[in-house]
Structure 1
Amino acid sequence: MTELRTAAVTTRRRSVPLLAGGVIGAAVCTAAIAAAAADWWPNLTLVVGTLVVLGVAWGMTRRPMGRRTVLGIVGVAAVCQVPGLTAAPITSTDAYRYVWDGRVQLSGTSPYAHVPLDDALARLRDPVLFPGLSPQDSSGVTGPPRVPRDPAALAALSADDSRTRINRARVPTIYPPVAQAYFTAVAFFTPWSAGTFGLQLVAAALAVGVTALLATELRRRNRDPRWAVLWAWSPVVALEAGSAAHVDVLAAGLVVAAVVTAARRSPVITGLLLGVAASVKLLPLLLLPAFTSVRRRGATTPLVAVGTFAATYVPHVLAVGTLVLGFLPGYLGQEGFADGSSRSAILALVLPADARQVATAVLAIAVAMLAIRRHQQEPIAVTCCWLYGAALLLTTPTYPWYGLPLIALAVLAGRIEWLAVPLASYLAYASFGHEVRQGLIHLAAAAVVLTVTARRSGGCRRGRGRPAGLSLSPGRGG
């Protein structure tokens, strides 16, 4: 009896750090949502909140772990998503486009073949998505979409319209086929009057599911699963999943699943998952070099991934032909990915636009070759983490939610220094139009990553014991 009482007391004591940390994590996420909704220093709140969660994770891992730790982490992760569900999306209006695309497909029409303002789809309008345009009103927009190449005409065409909450309502969708299937599935179960809530709820559930996957995989690799709170209780994840419902959370889950299966030597399944992830958001294609080897049969995963990605487009190509490209060419041109002129904020500090374009291409090839060379020399999660993070630092995209997969990869790889990159993206997002400031912010994030990486490498070269620097495991990241 005494032994049972002692065991019960020990269990309660081990649960205290998790419960206290969970309360802090939930409070941080609530504060982040409230600050963003009120526009009260939201980016500073995100940075401080992330550092607080990092401190909580570090503190918890210094204490013995209870038997139901993973369950507790997942439970608190669900609580962290609740504040975002209480209001409409905050950081962007992308979720309204998701709702529209799903609704259009349920009607038997392709979102690649029509723009949201097209009068041919007037019957699908409702007051939530179109507060200023009823089904009986004429928008003046008809016919198949045409995306101009002229930058000025493109900017005018893609400007927001006050009659609808859908962004870029005069151009077709940009989202790939698996993302479209996801939108359709959610739309099937969501009444029109619910607006974006269905997508927010599913995105929140996906974030919790990724938490369970990360914690379980960390435990399987004999690492402390409590480090999963850096994703689970992250104010960034709360803001972009349960609140903004960004599809990037689905891409993050698929990327993590691909890395997990790759570590278990399942190249075909890995390729399928990676291809599906790329058909949710194109960025996972950047990870292909990490799964490529110069050895025989070393290209199985990339070939399956590319084949899967291409196969998802076949039904849409058969239905609408070249319209399947949607607004992608216009987006790449408008956002600067096509010519490099308005990207690479770090390189923009020292190079003119033309030289920047060449430097970006050269660096991208060098990073890809390094990832191929590092294949099987380090855990696949580590390669994917720095490869994805390097791509974000190199291209410095405008939208910070692109960094969601990087957060998950940083947790899985045990490379938390890379969390500096998505945080820098939020600060740069708030500095839109100030190119020098954006470049300096991203440069600071790169400096954090390089400093910690150098310290870790120095510790490894000295040989014994754990690597120096910020790491989530006593040895190599998984």
Structure 2
Amino acid sequence: MPNAVLTYWKLHKVPILLSILCGLLYYTFAYHLQRSDFARMFGLYLGLFILCYKLIQFEKWNYKFLLFLGVVFRLVFLFAIPNLSQDFYRFIWDGHLVLLGENPYLYLPVDLVGSSEIIIPQAGYLVEGMESLSASNFSNYPPLSQLLFGLSVWLGGGKILGSVIAIRLILLLADLGIFYFGRKLLKFVNKSPHLIFWYFLNPLIIIELGGNLHFEGVMLFFLLITLYLIAINKWMLAALPMALSISVKLIPLMFLPLFFKALGLKKGLIFNTLVFLILAATLLPFYNPAFAENYMATLSLWFSNFEFNASIYNVVKSLGESLDLKPWELIKSYGKLIPLIVIVWVGILSLLRKNSSQHILIQSMLFILALYFFLTPTVHPWYIITLVALCIFTDYRFPLVWSATIIFSYTAYRDPGTEESMGFLIIEYLSVYGFLIYEIFKHGSFKSLIPKKYRGKGVNPI
């Protein structure tokens, strides 16, 4: 046994040392970092990205070793209170309401503080933690997310740290599922299975899911199951995980029209019908006449009131300021335009592309979501996790570049007033758009975005 250990050490000495250094950087990130200290954050993040690249480079065929590291790096955060996002306070708040049998879509947290009818443990602390913006709006997390919040609070014994640990373990299980189905799906699209580590070891994924407790990982887990089941021709069964994916995060709703070409018109119609029926079933426990109004009121804020780390919106905003347009009116008008543009884009990719190929289907999903994030006024770092996961099944790598540069969005928190730095945002988006343009020309000057039968026949490139 000692000889085997010594031999392994000799063969893998450098990766092991890099792994130890990586673990120390994650420990510092989890327990010794303030969100306002961007200089330290950037140094840690840069170091982690370089180490991630080197570990994959050295050990990309050593699946057990890299899988073990991915799990260990996530467990480093296990007892840490998230330091870059306060969303988890709202998760725990909603989870308490679910456990009490109350509907989380019907109450504003600020109205329940001090309530004698509905008593939330540590209510004042949770409301203070989630901050006024969240506390003064209705919950916008879909039904399955709410049930997972309730499960986390129950598993955590109603305590904040216990609930945080429970959420982390749920997200870890989801990431392990992504690893498992991701490798299987990579083989279906003729990609090397080691590419899954660009998701599993990516610092953005580990920090924003394992560290800051966002549920994009659970959504992705169900989405990859959907894609895998469709790949093996079990499309009716795939409707269940697709509905569950939407019931965690609404983002996959945008992908549903693609399945009319992916499965054929008849099967696509049946598939989408089943998805909506299952989705409706997940809504039933929370049904209330006021539900739709409250939920849509909160959801609309993301298009018409909030702005953070935007790209195209900031260009439009600058042009509007030069024309003396009022910013609050501009964002409301711009917010109404985004859904229309995205709907048209989804229609184009759904009608013109041959999405029956798994590779093309995932690529269409990638470009639908990319356009949406390029247009939207709010792009938090964890939003692009879905892009990172999807891109490894395609020939495009611009989301990996974005996963490295999106750290610049955290410069907004250097000051208490959340003031964004346009200089850093320009660096972020020039890197992303520049690499995207390079990749589009590399893969055939837009030809990879349209089916071959339309090329050279007078159809303008998308």
Common fold: TM-score over 0.5 = yes
Q: Does 1:244 align with 2:224?
A: no
Alpha-carbon distance, 1:58 to partner = 3.8
Tell me which residue corresponds to 1:146: none
Which deviates the most, 27-36 or 74-83? 27-36
Tell me which residue corresponds to 2:454: none
Q: Tell me, what secondary structure is at the counterpart of 1:265?
A: coil
Give yes or no for contact 1:115–1:170 (8 Å, CA) kept in 2. yes
Give yes or no for contact 2:86–2:129 (8 Å, CA) kept in 1. no
Q: Partners in 1 of 2:425 and 2:129 — Cα distance?
A: 35
TM-score, normalising length from structure 2? 0.76
Root-mean-square deviation over aligned CA pairs: 3.7
Give yes or no for contact 1:70–1:216 (8 Å, CA) kept in 2. no
The 1:435–1:397 alpha-carbon spacing in structure 2 relative to 1, beyond 3 Å, is same
Q: Partners in 2 of 1:221 and 1:21 — Cα distance?
A: 31
Alpha-carbon distance, 1:46 to partner = 2.9
The 1:52–1:451 alpha-carbon spacing in structure 2 relative to 1, beyond 3 Å, is farther
Give yes or no for contact 2:145–2:248 (8 Å, CA) kept in 1. yes
The 1:203–1:326 alpha-carbon spacing in structure 2 relative to 1, beyond 3 Å, is farther
Give matches, 1:157-236, under 5 Å: 162=128, 168-193=134-159, 194-219=162-187, 223-236=191-204
Tell me which residue corresponds to 2:429: 442
Q: Does 1:415 align with 2:396?
A: yes
Of the candidates 72, 88, 91, which is equivalent to residue 84 of structure 2?
A: 91
Q: Partners in 1 of 2:424 and 2:249 — Cα distance?
A: 24
Of the candidates 116, 126, 139, which is equivalent to residue 121 of structure 2?
A: 126
Q: Partners in 2 of 1:59 and 1:344 — Cα distance?
A: 36
Amino acid at match of 2:81: A
Of the candidates 348, 361, 369, which is equivalent to residue 370 of structure 1?
A: 348
Give yes or no for contact 2:142–2:249 (8 Å, CA) kept in 1. yes
Q: Which digits, 9 at most, give the CA deviation of each residue in 1:298-356, with x for residues without a partner?
A: 34433333333233223322xx22235545413423x3x14899896314415543885
Amino acid at match of 2:397: I
Q: Which digits, 9 at most, give the CA deviation of each residue in 1:18-49, with x for residues without a partner?
A: 75665565455445445744734324543553
Q: Partners in 1 of 2:255 and 2:116 — Cα distance?
A: 38
Q: Partners in 1 of 2:293 and 2:48 — Cα distance?
A: 39
Q: Partners in 1 of 2:199 and 2:143 — Cα distance?
A: 27
Alpha-carbon distance, 1:81 to partner = 0.3
Alpha-carbon distance, 1:283 to partner = 1.3
Q: Tell me, what secondary structure is at the counterpart of 1:88?
A: coil
Which deviates the most, 364-373 or 351-360? 351-360
The 1:166–1:15 alpha-carbon spacing in structure 2 relative to 1, beyond 3 Å, is farther
The 1:324–1:34 alpha-carbon spacing in structure 2 relative to 1, beyond 3 Å, is same
Amino acid at match of 2:256: L
Give matches, 1:29-48, under 5 Å: 29-30=26-27, 32-33=29-30, 36-37=33-34, 39-41=37-39, 42-43=41-42, 45-47=44-46
Q: Which digits, 9 at most, give the CA deviation of each residue in 1:248-273, with x for residues without a partner?
A: 22112112222222222332233322
Tell me which residue corresponds to 1:398: 379
- Identity rate of aligned residues, in percent? 16
Amino acid at match of 1:130: G
Give yes or no for contact 2:140–2:298 (8 Å, CA) kept in 1. no
Alpha-carbon distance, 1:230 to partner = 1.3
Q: Which runs of 5+ in 2 are unaligned?
A: 321-329, 413-417, 449-462
Q: Partners in 1 of 2:423 and 2:116 — Cα distance?
A: 43
Give yes or no for contact 1:346–1:443 (8 Å, CA) kept in 2. no
Of the candidates 289, 296, 310, which is equivalent to residue 265 of structure 2?
A: 296
Tell me which residue corresponds to 1:279: 247
Q: Which digits, 9 at most, give the CA deviation of each residue in 1:120-150, with x for residues without a partner?
A: 46663334x5349xxxxxxxxxxxxxxxxxx
Alpha-carbon distance, 1:368 to partner = 1.0
Q: Which runs of 5+ in 1 are unaligned?
A: 1-6, 133-160, 462-478
Of the candidates 290, 296, 299, which is equivalent to residue 322 of structure 1?
A: 290
Q: Partners in 2 of 1:73 and 1:437 — Cα distance?
A: 36
Give yes or no for contact 1:316–1:324 (8 Å, CA) kept in 2. no
Give yes or no for contact 1:240–1:246 (8 Å, CA) kept in 2. yes
Alpha-carbon distance, 1:170 to partner = 3.2
Q: Partners in 2 of 1:325 and 1:49 — Cα distance?
A: 43
Tell me which residue corresponds to 1:389: 370
Q: Partners in 2 of 1:225 and 1:287 — Cα distance?
A: 24
Q: Does 1:260 align with 2:238?
A: no
Give matches, 1:304-343, under 5 Å: 304-317=274-287, 320-333=288-301, 335=302, 337-338=303-304
Q: Tell me, what secondary structure is at the counterpart of 1:237?
A: helix
The 1:8–1:26 alpha-carbon spacing in structure 2 relative to 1, beyond 3 Å, is closer
The 1:85–1:8 alpha-carbon spacing in structure 2 relative to 1, beyond 3 Å, is closer
Q: Which digits, 9 at most, give the CA deviation of each residue in 1:384-414, with x for residues without a partner?
A: 2232222212225232211222222122335
Tell me which residue corresponds to 2:56: 57
Q: Partners in 2 of 1:245 and 1:446 — Cα distance?
A: 28
Number of residue pairs matched by the alignment: 416
Amino acid at match of 1:261: L
Give yes or no for contact 1:289–1:369 (8 Å, CA) kept in 2. yes
The 1:32–1:235 alpha-carbon spacing in structure 2 relative to 1, beyond 3 Å, is farther
Tell me which residue corresponds to 1:102: 95
Amino acid at match of 1:413: T
The 1:366–1:180 alpha-carbon spacing in structure 2 relative to 1, beyond 3 Å, is same
Q: Partners in 2 of 1:390 and 1:24 — Cα distance?
A: 37
Tell me which residue corresponds to 1:111: 104
The 1:366–1:174 alpha-carbon spacing in structure 2 relative to 1, beyond 3 Å, is closer
